[in-house]
Amino acid sequence: MLYHSRNKEPNLTFTHCGKFTFRWGERTYIMGIINVSPDSFSGDGINNTEAALAQAKRMASEGADIIDIGGESTRPQSMPISVNEELHRVIPLLERLRTEIELPISIDTYKLKVAQQALETGANMINDIWGLKHEPLLAELAAKKGVPIILMSNQRDISPKHDIIFPDIISTVLSSLTQSIEKALKAGILPENIIIDPGIGFGKTQEQNIELMGRLDELQVLRKPILLASSRKSMISSILNLPSEQCMEGTLATTTIGIVSGIDMIRVHDIKESFRVCRISDAIIRGHS
């Protein structure tokens, strides 16, 4: 086989998320992206609860394993929004999703109050693009609630224009993720509830993003489930010279590369096509059909 599972500790082979269990290494799990922000970088922003609900239901029917809800755009140079505005965007949708779909729900936020209310409303996971650098108290919240947390390696605080040349991008990402993991464990988050994300497109140059994609397997040294969030990113649109909404095939290529490299979950916009790619790739690489 092409794929080699990381040498996991016995208690790191699964993560409970609501009523669902992710059994890492068996197959690639799919996280569907729902952006309720009108200025989303990928052109898929929705500012209507009914439309977002319909999209989530479609994703569930097409093979998504979890839905990730975000209310604030993370595109470069985007303006932060207030806590109240973010709550106004995400909570009504969460209330509907909790009763109308069976999948677990992740809240994509770095704001403590948003995460608190989202978990109280029914979210089952926190997706923190700052890896606890912006709001360390998210770790205590995740520990108290017993929910998984995604920790991203984000270099935008030191490279807001994506122009700093780091000596070695993998070493930079590994150092960042190690610090985030240590903060999470110190706060009491269970080891099996930590998922890592290398942060494609966050404070890294085009060349660094491409190198990172080619060296994803080196992240396995951290012995944590790996989320790959490359869907419609500028790395792909720049290579293809196409707008982000026309980058599905490029995204599917990165998904395949990620699976060969041992990633465990993908965060994507196009579920049906991604599901098919994962099914074939997992059958060949993991022996799971």
Q: Per-domain residue ranges for the chain?
A: 21-285
Catalytic site residue from 233, 276, 279, 286: 233
Write down the pLDDT at residue 44. 52
Radius of gyration for the alpha carbons in the chain, expressed in angstroms and rounded: 17
Closest among 277, 261, 263, 25 to 150, alpha carbons compared: 263
Q: Which fold has domain 21-285?
A: TIM Barrel (3.20.20)
Lowest mean pLDDT among 13-22, 78-87, 167-176: 78-87
42 has pLDDT over 50: no
The runs of H, that is alpha helices, within 22-168 are 49-62, 83-100, 112-121, 137-145
Across all residues in the chain, what is the average pLDDT?
92
Per-residue model confidence (pLDDT) at position 86 = 96
* Residue 267 known to be catalytic: yes
Question: Is the predicted pLDDT of residue 162 greater than 90, yes or no?
Answer: yes
Q: Which pTM was predicted?
A: 0.93
Marked catalytic residue, from 19, 267, 276, 286: 267
Which pLDDT value is given to residue 288? 76
pLDDT of residue 273 exceeding 60, the answer is yes
Q: What is the pLDDT of residues 165-220, one digit of tens each?
A: 999 999 999 999 999 999 999 999 999 999 999 999 999 999 999 999 999 999 99
pLDDT tens-digit profile of 68-77?
A: 999 998 777 6
**Cα-based angle 22, 23, 29 (whole degrees, multiple of 5):** 55
Per the annotation, the verdict on 233 as an active-site residue is yes
